[in-house]
Amino acid sequence: MKKITAFFTIALLVCITIFAAFANINRDASYSYLTREGPDDDFPGQYSDQSNTGTDSQGPLYSTGSSWFGYFRDADGNLRCAADGYGYVSCSTDNKNYETTYNLYAEVPLGLQNPNKRNPQTLPKLGSFYDSVHRFGEGNGALYAMGGAIGRASATGKNPSSGAEHSTSAESPTPVTARDLEILEHDD
């Protein structure tokens, strides 16, 4: 009985930790699309591509992290793959003194692009702007499993006049972690 109690207690704590960690990420949207491969395709697995997007907004701030991975065949029939990761932050405000600090991150699987990660030094900004970073690359499709690209963005902002503070945080989900998952049929 004690073991069962301990098990459920630990499980509960893990659930709470996960909830606390993800409660403030992708508050607006978190979705993935999987496209089923066509009848003539012969890709690893049963899907031709995967697209994942997480978005979050608060006050004048908006963040999104997205990623995409797809298989295709080149002119010679060789299996190829492509992936991209994308992080985006925007601040849309009439207040020229609005202060934002933010971070951006984009990654594709190692070997698809060099460097395969970008995390530009992003320092404080005043006023309206958008900033984005991306990674994109292609490679031998036989060497890569679907997924592995990441897009991430977060921002905190403050109106110095009113003291109002805002924050956003977004990260590309996976089909497993996305709140909404849709499987699309091949439509060639």
Partner 1 sequence: MLRNLLSSRMIQGGLVFFVLIVGGSLLYSWHVRRTRDADFPGPDAVQVNPREGARDSGGILPVDFGQATPGLEADDTPTVSDDTAAPSTSETAAETIDSTETIDSIETIETDAVSADALDPSKMSRFGLGPYPEIPKDGDFPPNYLETAENIEWELLRRIAIKMHNEGIRSKYGSVGIERTGIIALERGSVLVEYEIDENGEKSIYRTLAHPDDLSPGIYTRFSDIPSHLEIVTPDEIGFDPYEYLGLSK
Nearest to 69 by CA among 42, 38, 107: 107
Among positions 41, 79, 110, 127, the unique one binding partner 1 when judged by CB under 8 A:
127
Rounded least distance, CB 142 to partner 1, Å:
19
What count of Cα atoms within 13 Å lies in the side-chain half-sphere of residue 89? 27
x/- map, 19-48, partner 1, by CB under 8 A: xx--x---xx----x-x-------------
Rounded-to-integer distance, Cα 153 and Cα 103, Å: 6
Rounded least distance, CB 136 to partner 1, Å:
6
Rounded least distance, CB 146 to partner 1, Å:
13
Among positions 25, 26, 30, 53, the unique one binding partner 1 when judged by CB under 8 A:
53
For 151, residues 6+ apart whose C-beta sits below 8 A from its C-beta are 64, 65, 66, 67, 85, 86, 87, 88, 105, 106, 107, 134, 171, 172
x/- map, 82-101, partner 1, by CB under 8 A: x-x-x-x-xxxx-xxx-x--
Amino acid at site 24: N
Choices 13-21, 36-44, 140-148, 173-181; region in contact with partner 1 by CB under 8 A:
13-21
